[in-house]
Amino acid sequence: MELTPKGRQAVKAVRNLAILLAVLAIGYFAIRAWGPSSKDGKLTIGGTSGKPDLVLAYNTFTGVEGIVLMNGGMDPNENSELYKNYGIKLQIKQMDAVKDTRSGLHAGDLDLVYCTTDALPVEMGSGSELRSDDVVQIMQVNQSHGADAIVVRKGIDEVSNLKGKKVAYAVGTASHTLLLNVLETSNMKMSDIDGYQVADGVEAANAFKNGQCDAALVWAPDDEDCVAASAGSKVLVSSAVASQIIADGLLVKKTVLDQKRAVITKLVKAWLQGNAKINTDAAAKKEANALFAKGFKFPEDIAAKSADKVYFSTFGDNVNFFGLNSTYTGMTGERMYGRMAVKYTEIGLAKSPAPWRNISDPSVIQELMNDQAFANDAKQGAVKPEAFQPATQEIKTQQAQSSKIVKLEFPVNSAQLTEDNIVTLDREVKELIQGFEKAYVRVEGNTDNTGQAKTNERLSLDRANAVVNYLVSEQHLDKNKFIVIGNGSKKPVAGCEGNQDEACKARNRRTEFQFIWKKPGETE
């Protein structure tokens, strides 16, 4: 039977449809057999189409540059090292409002968000959203090595000069952490200053430049602008000196970590590789600055200055940070978090913060420890502790920028440290000195005027040496970091020059820890 013209057209259409369906079926099964797939066997579409594997939120801070470099920018990128080497499509979102990142994490719109370990106790109080969501820190991203600073006006030359001054700072942030630690080096508290609360470091810098405060906690490179804007102004101290008190980290819900463990582990590995590139390769650092500037809409020259004041953490740093290196005696995450949990609780910002073991998860770093080629890469080694040269006579005698008085009770005519002395040193001094990693510390022993002057001088020197020997031998601090002085009764405290009563004598029997972080003649 011969088909009509319409019938022939219908048959042709059916035949073409059958051919198309056959081609699609062959393509589908070829992709299933040879194409990229996720661990659970679901089809993964290559390139930049489709939903990203992970969504990361970070604030406008160059400390994120390691993963921006590996991702080739902010958006999923099939030409990036992250995609080519690990098959990960990552979306990086710029979010400067902390509350927005936490809300996004809670809602499931974000997989990973930034934090600062030092200020995390403020967010980990009982009943907090992060705590209710079982959020944990899984990585140290970077360390502030100058990115946070205190700028001051003319006439403020040491920490004690901040007393009664108006100081601008952002509450419960890394800036606040720096302020609390700096005040502690001079036995000062927040109540000793006139606190001026602002939203962030940028607002603090503007307040300083507009003459609204005497000092401000700012971010690099705003510190340079502040100094230039006001004659006689200077940087009193920065995290270039206090290099072990502020560190950025990566937060994730435990449920998300469990669901996406494989891809998150790959992301952390890639991020650490990006960090190592920036630390060791000038060209990679320049590329990272450019990518960050483009993605975060930030001037590239300013990004470069900011990145110079950041240390990008490696795998070795993370092993130390999470307490996985039994020989490491420096600032672990537990010490950093625990120390600031106490401080933020004391001023009412932290409400019964969870212990470190409940809000940290080292399992990703532990898994990477099994990757021998990666773990043994020299570029992934931990940053080396500051090596001090013996103090010159000029440094030994120069004016300290800060002085902390600690009461140590020694037995009569003895320089033997008691158990109470050791507890006091561990509580009040050890971690503070570790935090101010780049500062010399002059330890001065002082007595009252009881007994002979020469005997008192020798005894005070022996006691100061006993303190330093403990910190060096037990806490593994560099002996060259310390300057040891025995004053005897020659330096009584103001108002007690005559040792006129028992109260004054008790005040004069003291040990001072004087922090020296400026070279002779240095003004900023």
CA 371 vs CA 78, 85, 272, 368, 374: distances in Å: 25, 15, 13, 5, 6
Which residue would you say has higher pLDDT here, 42 or 164?
Answer: 164
- Cα separation, 272 vs 139, whole angstroms: 9
For residue 523, what pLDDT band results from cuts at 50, 70 and 90?
A: low
Query: Does residue 41 register a pLDDT over 80?
Result: no
- Cα separation, 51 vs 91, whole angstroms: 9
Query: Does residue 48 register a pLDDT over 70?
Result: no
CATH number of 55-143+246-380: 3.40.190.10
**The predicted structure's pLDDT at residue 413:** 86
Backbone angles phi and psi of 519, in degrees to 5: -75, 155
For residue 348, what pLDDT band results from cuts at 50, 70 and 90?
A: very high
* Region 338-362 average pLDDT: 98
For residue 518, what pLDDT band results from cuts at 50, 70 and 90?
A: confident
Q: Angle, nearest 10°, between helix axes 282-295 and 300-307?
A: 130
For residue 49, what pLDDT band results from cuts at 50, 70 and 90?
A: low
* Contact (Cβ atoms closer than 8 angstroms) between residue 175 and residue 400: no
Asked whether the domain spanning 148-238 has the same topology as the one spanning 55-143+246-380, the reply is yes
Residue length of the chain = 524
**DSSP per-residue codes, 403-471:** EEEE---PPTT--PPPHHHHHHHIIIIIHHHHHSTT-EEEEEEE--S-S-HHHHHHHHHHHHHHHHHHH
Residues 6+ away with beta carbon under 8 Å from 129: 102, 106
* Region 499-508 average pLDDT: 92
* pLDDT, mean over the chain: 91
Residues 6+ away with beta carbon under 8 Å from 348: none
**The predicted structure's pLDDT at residue 411:** 84
**The predicted structure's pLDDT at residue 210:** 98
CA 436 vs CA 239, 389, 430: distances in Å: 8, 16, 10
pTM across the whole model: 0.88
DSSP 16: H
pLDDT in tens, 208-244: 999 999 999 999 999 999 999 999 999 999 999 999 9
**What is the CATH architecture assignment of 393-516?**
2-Layer Sandwich (3.30)
Q: How far is CA 496 from the centre of its chain?
A: 41
- 505: Cα within 13 Å, side-chain hemisphere: 7
DSSP 169: E
Question: What are the residue boundaries of the structural domains of the chain, listed by start?
Answer: 55-143+246-380, 148-238, 393-516
- Report the run of H or E that residue 238 belongs to, with start and end: strand 234-238
**DSSP per-residue codes, 303-322:** HHHHHTTEEE--HHHHHHHT
- Cα separation, 167 vs 194, whole angstroms: 6
- Cα separation, 68 vs 295, whole angstroms: 9
* Region 507-524 average pLDDT: 81
pLDDT in tens, 97-111: 999 999 999 999 999
For residue 141, what pLDDT band results from cuts at 50, 70 and 90?
A: very high
**Fold entry, domain 148-238:** D-Maltodextrin-Binding Protein; domain 2 (3.40.190)
pLDDT in tens, 163-183: 999 999 999 999 999 999 999
For residue 412, what pLDDT band results from cuts at 50, 70 and 90?
A: confident
